[in-house]
Chain A
C-alpha cells in the first residue's frame, strides 16, 4: 500500500472517529450535566430510564430523531434549515486542528491524533469556533420570532465582546512561545507541572477562561437562551434533530474549549508526575467540563450590558496590560 493511500485512509478514520466520538460525548455530557447539576442542587436527576438513568441518553435520542421537523410559517427557509448545521459543523471542524492525545503506535504505525496539523492551529481553532456564533445569529434572525431576533442581537453583542478578550488573552502566551501551532505550544511545556504556562501567565489564563465561557454560551454568559428573559432564544422555533444539532455543537464546543485550555495553559498531553500524557489530558478536560457545569450550578446569569461592560471595560484593558508586561519582560 502506498503511503498516500495510507495517509488518506488514516485521515478518513480520524475524521470519522472525531465525529462519532464527539457526537457521542456531547450526548453523554448532557447526561453528566444533568446529574452534576442535580447533585449540586440536592436532587437525583434522571433516574427512571436504565440504571441511575444512564439510558436517558438513548430515550432523548429517540425523541429527538423521531420528532417532527417543524418549519414554521414566515421563516427564511434555507437559512432556517442550514443554521443548525453551522453549529454542528463548525464545532467539529474546530476539533480537527486540536491535537487530542500524544502520538502512539498502532500495528507498527505511528498515529498522530490530530486530523490536520496546521501551522496556525490556535488561530484556526479560535476562528472556526467563533464561526459557530453564526448559528444562533442566523437561526434567530431567520426564524421570524421576536425571542429569536433578540437572541441573535445578543449573539452579535457576545461575539463582539468575547472575541477581543480571548484574542488578546492568547496573545501573551503565544508571544512567550513564539508559535501558533498547538503541538509547539504543548511541547513548550514538557517537563512537568512547573513548566505549565498558567504559572507564567495566570492573568491570561483567567481572561481566556472567562472568554471561552462567553464563546461556548455557558452560564454566566448564556445570554442567547436565557429562559427567563427570551424563552429559548434562537432555539424557540426549532424542534427535533435540528434543535439537537445546536446542542451537539454547544457541547462539542465545550470539549474544544476544554482541550484548548488544557493544551495552552495546563501542560497539554505531557506526562504529569506518574500519570501518562494521554490520561493527563483526559483528566484535565474532564475537570474543565466539570468546571463548566459547576459554574452553571453556582453562579447567576448576567445581563448583556454587564457582559459588554465586563469585556470591554475590565477584561480588555487587563489583557492589554498583560501583553504590555509580557512584552517588557520578554525584551
Chain B
C-alpha cells in the first residue's frame, strides 16, 4: 500500500510538527520552550479568570435553574380547547402509531353525544425518548412538549396518566393555559400558510 499522502485521497495531515532529529536540534527545542514563557501564559490565563468578575459558569441547580427554551422537549402536555374547554385530542391515534419508542397507548370509545372520546391515554416515560414525533404529527395540536424536566420519581406510573398531562380545568378556567409556542406548536406566521382545501377531487 502506498503511503497516505501519495494516495489519491482527500485525507491529509493537517498539523505536521517538525520533530527534532539531531541532539543539537533537540537541545535548541528545549531551550526555546524553556524561555518562551508559555508556562507563564498558562498561569496568567487562570489567574485572569480568577480575578475577573462574574466569570463563574456554575448554576447552583436546586436553588437556581436556567430558563428552558420553549422548543425544549420534556414531559408532554395535553391541551384543551380555549373556547369550550373540551379536550383537543380527537383520538385519531396518530401519535400512538408514529411513536418509535412504542410508549404511547390510548383507548377510545364512542361517547353519548356521538363523538369519539379518549378514555385512556398513557405515555410510558420510562421508554419515551422525547423525540417529539407525537407532537409533530398531532393534527389538533393536542399533545405538545412542555418544559417540565424534573421528572425523577419513585414510581414508574408517575407522570404517565392522561390526567397528569391534561391541563386541569381550574387552570383552564383561570385563563392560565398558555398557548404554546414550543415544540409541536404552530409557528407565528402559520396563518399565512393556510390555503383552501380543494374539495373537488
Majority SS of interface residues in chain B? helix
B42–A40 touching, CB < 8 Å:
no
A299: chain B residues within 8 A (beta carbon)? 39, 42-43
A-B contact number at CB 8 A: 36
For window 32-75 of A, CB contacts with B under 8 Å fall at 36, 39-44, 47
B56: chain A residues within 8 A (beta carbon)? 39, 42-44
Question: Interface size for chain B: under 10, 10 to 19, 20 to 34, or 35 or more residues?
Answer: 10 to 19
A111 in contact (CB, < 8 A): no
B46–A298 touching, CB < 8 Å:
yes
Stretch binding the partner chain, chosen from B47-55, B125-133, B185-193: B47-55
B30–A314 touching, CB < 8 Å:
yes
A42–B60 touching, CB < 8 Å:
no
For window 35-90 of B, CB contacts with A under 8 Å fall at 39, 42-43, 45-47, 49-50, 55-58, 60
A42–B30 touching, CB < 8 Å:
no
- Distance between Cα atoms of A244 and B72 in the complex (Å): 45
- Distance between Cα atoms of A44 and B58 in the complex (Å): 6
A243: chain B residues within 8 A (beta carbon)? none
B43–A42 touching, CB < 8 Å:
no
Minimum Cβ distance to chain A for residue B55 (Å): 5
B43: chain A residues within 8 A (beta carbon)? 294-295, 298-299
Looking at the complex, which one of B30, B39, B50, B55 makes contact with A36 (CB distance below 8 Å)?
B50
Looking at the complex, which one of A36, A40, A44, A294 makes contact with B60 (CB distance below 8 Å)?
A44
A298–B42 touching, CB < 8 Å:
yes
Give A314's nearest chain B residue, CB to CB.
Answer: B30
Q: A292-320 toward B: CB 8 Å interface, digit per residue (1/0)?
A: 00110111000000000000001000000
Minimum Cβ distance to chain B for residue A51 (Å): 14
Max chain B Cβ within 10 angstroms of own Cβ: one of A40, A41, A294: A40
Going nearest first, the 4 A-B pairs with the smallest beta carbon separation are A40-B46, A298-B42, A44-B58, A39-B50
| Given A294-B43, A294-B46, 18 additional A-B pairs, CB 8 A | A39-B56, A40-B50, A41-B46, A41-B49, A42-B49, A42-B58, A43-B56, A43-B58, A44-B56, A44-B58, A44-B60, A294-B47, A295-B43, A297-B46, A298-B42, A298-B43, A298-B46, A299-B42
